[in-house]
Structure 1
């Protein structure tokens, strides 16, 4: 087996534009290392291996080759952005279906890129991985049909922490408060008997001396009995294992936009966690996501400086929140493409 290529940008070979134009390609900036591309590919194709100095075999008849140096002339010929300094070429057997209906072509993305014949099967899986790598690495994908598939404006912001540890809602708030001051729970734990009794004692009609629901006042014996019942209920509740299926928390920006946190048990774990003993029976997931105030404007490129600054602030806060959670519950973090990340 051949060794992997030089990880530095200087090790990139010249690009054959004619060959590149006929392949799906991933274009990335000059600071992306081969090791990063290899790690992402392995997370989706665990059996992948270098078969030549610059050819990574992902699966049968599916290869990723590179990196190749992209010049200004190459960018002009292929319609690549100015920051595209190196590229990787995907070689795979074409698998196409029928033409995409006109109304769906307007959606853009893969539907528009493969309008004459929808991409399917192994080719579709490989192109999806290439697009996911582009989102993770800040790159872009050019299909063999000549379409550029730009990353979503919110790509690379959201993270999910996977752990075997379940945090009580109040504990989650304590962990995230240094990063998201004022974060609040969306669903409060059910009131226990003592809280209900306190609420009854504080109600307007009870303030007059403690009235029965049907009228009249509670004597000292009745009140003592109710408090004893509440104590017994609390003791029983504390002795039981806590069962909570899911809950959420939210932190808001003053000018719109929120960071949401969703906590739930998940039986099906990402491929990158398969084989880990602590994830064998499923995990608890802590998903941190940014929801912009005007997602349509952001996707259409009409977002102002405030929204773009908020995106970068949200990215930083979510990374810090993921680090805080990992310190509290251990585990691992992934992005929405289920790549392992180190926030």
Structure 2
């Protein structure tokens, strides 16, 4: 995917033509003309990235070749690392789900948005892996090229508050005493989701390595062109778990499906009804609770939406209002206080919730011709064998 040049670049080219003669040899012109050009850098056909020295912008010049070892300068940059069996095509598919502009600018340069790119995949040798303190599973690396933008805790903020905010942040394991903001934060946060999806991790430019928990994304949202009435949904779910029951809609207001979690309402606000009593209308939104065998529950909310994740932007049926089925895990403990290292009890609950949610989502997809998307915005496929 090579973007067309804008009028500003054309004007610049015209200005340069007045200062220097045009190249008459078309072959020579093709060699010297960049295949992609941004405001502060340009890529030539051989893979070199040239920066404008007048711009104070963080851009790394790199020359990538298939099978090339990770360059020695990698210790000064953010690095996405993945296992041996993860292909460049898989990484491309995931980032395309996250950014509208994402795609290959040229071999070895995967654009995300604006001038933010990944270069790679670079091969990670055992020696380089040891020097960078990467896990043994790290086989391929992608250098993350994004302008650094950091922020220290605000002056006057209580130490305890600052530490709590820092510890709860998604990217905090990658930094010491500061956190990225703006584009750098967005990129690292999303790429941590990519890493979790493929069993990889990120090494920051501060030398800190973090492998996100691949099992932390439990909730799924099914977007579909067909509406499944509440009575039919209850019947479908009760074939999987006979204890499923209908809830009133007062316990949790509907919130942007697929982009925010359902309300973390206290358990006493979940009011079960007699089966079918809240399902009088076949087109009304509804909620169903499915208790887990141990503790906790899964809640299904069904409604309509005009908004879908980027991963589904090419589906024909998203041009109209779509049906949305949100499956959310409600553990026995307050979800907002779950640590990055959950207890054995919570891990067991999470596993049971994951299995149940995937079972139900797969059935809904089959009945409605829908697609399941996780909280990171990635499409989830189910093994139908």
TM-score, normalised on structure 1?
Answer: 0.71
Moved more, 102-111 or 326-335: 102-111
Structure 2 match to 1:182: 243
Instruction: Give the match's secondary structure for 1:123.
Output: helix
Q: CA RMSD in A?
A: 3.2
Structure 2 match to 1:146: 207
Shift of 1:325: 0.2
Q: Which has the higher helix share?
A: 1
Shift of 1:142: 2.1
Contact kept in structure 2, 1:100 and 1:114, CA below 8 Å: no
- Of 298, 303, 316, which residue of structure 2 is paired with 1:259? 298
Contact kept in structure 1, 2:82 and 2:195, CA below 8 Å: yes
Structure 1 regions of 5+ residues with no counterpart? 4-10, 189-236
Instruction: Give the match's secondary structure for 1:176.
Output: helix
Mapped partners of 1:271, 1:52: distance in 2: 23
Shift of 1:155: 2.3
Instruction: Give the match's secondary structure for 2:290.
Output: strand
**CA distance 1:152–1:332, shift in 2 (3 Å):** same
Structure 2 match to 1:32: 86
Post-superposition Cα deviations, 1:234-256, rounded to whole Å, max 9, x if no partner, equal xxx99xx7552x32212222321
RCO (CA 8 Å, sep 6+): is it higher in 1 or 2?
A: 1
Structure 2 regions of 5+ residues with no counterpart? 3-34, 36-44, 46-65, 250-278
Post-superposition Cα deviations, 1:118-140, rounded to whole Å, max 9, x if no partner, equal 42333333222212212322322
1:100 paired with 2:139, answer: no
Contact kept in structure 1, 2:286 and 2:303, CA below 8 Å: yes
Moved more, 294-303 or 274-283: 294-303
Contact kept in structure 1, 2:302 and 2:323, CA below 8 Å: yes
Instruction: Give the match's secondary structure for 2:205.
Output: coil
**CA distance 1:41–1:329, shift in 2 (3 Å):** same
Instruction: Give the match's secondary structure for 1:325.
Output: helix
**CA distance 1:83–1:143, shift in 2 (3 Å):** same
Structure 2 match to 1:13: 68
Structure 1 match to 2:123: 69
Paired residues for 1:163-312 under 5 Å: 163-187=224-248, 242-244=282-284, 246-294=285-333, 299-304=339-344, 307-312=346-351
Contact kept in structure 2, 1:99 and 1:115, CA below 8 Å: no
**CA distance 1:33–1:183, shift in 2 (3 Å):** farther
Mapped partners of 2:302, 2:199: distance in 1: 28
Instruction: Give the match's secondary structure for 1:318.
Output: helix
TM-score, normalised on structure 2?
Answer: 0.64
Contact kept in structure 1, 2:151 and 2:180, CA below 8 Å: no
Of structures 1 and 2, the larger Rg is shown by 1
Instruction: Give the match's secondary structure for 1:290.
Output: strand
- Of 349, 352, 355, which residue of structure 2 is paired with 1:316? 355
Q: Which runs of 4+ in 1 moved over 6 A?
A: none
**CA distance 1:327–1:107, shift in 2 (3 Å):** closer
Post-superposition Cα deviations, 1:96-137, rounded to whole Å, max 9, x if no partner, equal 253124513343543564566542333333222212212322
Mapped partners of 1:181, 1:20: distance in 2: 54
